[in-house]
Amino acid sequence: MTSAQETAVAGEKNAPNQSMPNADYTATAHKARVQDKVATGILAAIVGVIIVALVAIIVYILASGASKLVDVHFLTAKPEQFKAGGGIGPELFNSFYLLVLTLLISVPISLGAAIFLTQYAPQGRITNIAKTAIETLSSLPSIVVGLFGMLTFVLTLHWGFSILSGALALTMFNIPILVRVIQQALEAVPRDQRDAALALGLTRWEATMHVLVPAAMPAIVTGVVLSAGRVFGEAAALIYTAGQSAPVLSWSAPIWSLSNPLNVFRPAETLAVHIWKINSEGVVPDLSAVSAGTAAVLMVCILAFDIIARVAGRALERKLTAE
């Protein structure tokens, strides 16, 4: 007999002799236990449904595009307008190029804004206004961001459908999220870290840059990479800014040519925009295969971002705290 059983038996024997637990009490306790079990069951069922649905979507997308996913020709060739066998080479490059540019612009700005809001801005009116603005901006539909980008960058500034217009639209879309993530990361650093730095006669700037930001780095990296996944899959904000055409790219073209991959003034269709475009106005015979393949590639990239975010965040955390 295990000790647990012994206790149970002893409990049963003793129960009638004790003054407090009467029939009512036992009934209530029983009811509470049943309630607990039912609640646990319902919650588990809900989570189960969510997981099954998500996994089914992922598996479906990956399975539909599996053959294209490992097809080097598909991953590197240029898309076709009218016949089958087109690839997504330029789109794949454009997606990464736009992502890198967007992060290069949005990370420093967001970091600066978050540092100002958490460390320098007087708590109260300014921070409240900024908070409201950031929340409003982050819930703005991305198509609105896209149309604003078209009016401002494409038409008013005459940059046309270009990578630069697209990157700036994505920056607007990305900044509110990044500011929030970085702000939370900085606020999560214990206050005594900052006090310790200030008490050693360091300036607020030194305390922020050498103590707070490094301590918040794991959370910041995780946040940035996760936001990268969102940016990478964004279509609506790009349709009217980076455009829907992908010029044939050539590394030997001069930088001012629309064929040079790095020219930020060329139009650049991304993977997500490509999916939207071929499904709405594509005429290629292998339309559904191209669409499924592109979706699978997009999905794999975003999954990779997600995994990188976790691994990098955890590795940094371990390095900092030696746990």
What residue ranges bind other proteins (CB under 8 A)? 122-123, 190, 192-193, 195-203, 206, 210-211, 214-215, 319-323
Residue 211 C-beta: closest distance to other proteins, Å: 6
Please give the Cα distance from 151 to 289 (Å, whole number). Answer: 35
Residue 184 C-beta: closest distance to other proteins, Å: 17
Residue 315 C-beta: closest distance to other proteins, Å: 13
In the bound state with other proteins, the residue whose beta carbon lies nearer, of 30 and 318, is: 318
218 within 8 A of 313, measured Cβ to Cβ? yes
Residue 308 C-beta: closest distance to other proteins, Å: 22
Q: At what angle do helices 213-232 and 163-188 cross, to 10 degrees?
A: 140
Residue 199 C-beta: closest distance to other proteins, Å: 4
What is the distance between the terminal CA atoms of the chain, rounded to a whole angstrom? 40
In the bound state with other proteins, the residue whose beta carbon lies nearer, of 37 and 318, is: 318
In the bound state with other proteins, the residue whose beta carbon lies nearer, of 67 and 203, is: 203
In the bound state with other proteins, the residue whose beta carbon lies nearer, of 61 and 202, is: 202
> What single string gives the DSSP state of each residue in 168-206?
HHHHHHHHHHHHHHHHHHHHHS-HHHHHHHHHTT--HHH
Residue 261 token pair: 């991959």
In the bound state with other proteins, the residue whose beta carbon lies nearer, of 33 and 210, is: 210
Tell me how far apart the 2 most distant CA atoms of the chain are, in Å.
95
